[in-house]
Structure 1
Amino acid sequence: MNYHIGEFSKKVELSIDTLRYYEKIGLIHPERDDINRRIYCERDISWLNFIFRLKATNMPIKQIQYYSKLRYMGDITLKERLKLLEKQMNRLHIQKNNIEENILHLERKIGIYKEKIKKQEVNK
């Protein structure tokens, strides 16, 4: 199914201005009809959902732009796109490890405080 920008904007819950901005910075490349209106399709929805996912992983916008450029160049860029995703995956694993370490530290500190409070209440 094809959509013009207004319909597509509602479907993906992005403003028309945001869609135009994404196009301007090279994240999306909608087709054009014979009178130069933007035409979006289901493939564009999938691509935007992937962009949202990359943004959710805190991938820098410059890297998302570069990934997008590679994607539109076709399958000859698969190795390079894979490398970008693996780099981002490594960043996420580092963040995850840091979060897990912080959780453990806070859990220990909370345990210490609970124990001290318990001792205070027993000594009253």
Structure 2
Amino acid sequence: MTYSIGQVAEKTGLTTYTLRYYDREGLMPFVKRNQAGRREFTDANLDFIDLITCLKDTGMQLAEIRHFVELAMQGDATLETRLNIFKRQQQAVCNQIKQAKQHLAKLDYKVRYYTAACDAGTEAAVSGDCELPGQPIIIDNQLRVKKVKAE
């Protein structure tokens, strides 16, 4: 089965502009054109576009993706080189995950900190070290602001 660029955009979530841009940038030399010059995508093309999207979403630059596509078009002679590209990208994603976990830990702490400050009515009552996200948050009850009930 073949798909139009609009159908591919709908299936992939990419815009037709992005798909045309990727084609111009040499990321989709595998896409054939019909007699009218329109792109005709296959299921295999959709799988490859999904891979391109994966690589892009994990931080790989378009030039690197183009290089990978060129290697893939050369066939089995480039298998080892392509494997090494994926190993490097895999390591890059592992590093991104590690950094994201560190950021999440800091954000978790800040949510706890500001929740405590809101409950206390002031930041002055709250103590704890933001650089140590695992540390407890301490509320000094003497500095707590009494909330006045609205009538």
TM-score bucket of the superposed structures, by smaller chain = 0.7 to 0.9
- Structure 2: how far apart are the matches of 1:44 and 1:3? 10
Choose between structure 1 and 2 for higher RCO, CA contacts under 8 A separated by at least 6 residues: 1
User: SS of the counterpart of 1:3?
Assistant: coil
Post-superposition Cα deviations, 1:14-65, rounded to whole Å, max 9, x if no partner, equal 3322211111101112112234322110011111111111122112222111
Structure 1 window deviating more from structure 2 (70-79 vs 3-12): it is 3-12
Aligned to 2:34: 33
TM-score (norm 1): 0.77
- Structure 2: how far apart are the matches of 1:6 and 1:104? 41
User: SS of the counterpart of 2:41?
Assistant: strand
Unmatched tracts of structure 1, length 5 or more:
none
User: SS of the counterpart of 2:99?
Assistant: helix
Aligned to 1:61: 62
Count of residue correspondences: 120
Distance change (3 Å), C-alpha of 1:109 and 1:39? closer
Distance change (3 Å), C-alpha of 1:4 and 1:103? closer
Distance change (3 Å), C-alpha of 1:98 and 1:37? closer
Show the 5 A alignment for 1:50-89.
50-89=51-90
- Structure 1: how far apart are the matches of 2:13 and 2:46? 11
> Which structure shows the bigger proportion of residues in helix conformation?
1
Distance change (3 Å), C-alpha of 1:33 and 1:57? same
Aligned to 2:121: none
Give the RMSD, CA atoms, in angstroms.
Answer: 2.5
Aligned to 2:45: 44
Question: Percent identity over the alignment?
Answer: 28
Aligned to 1:18: 18
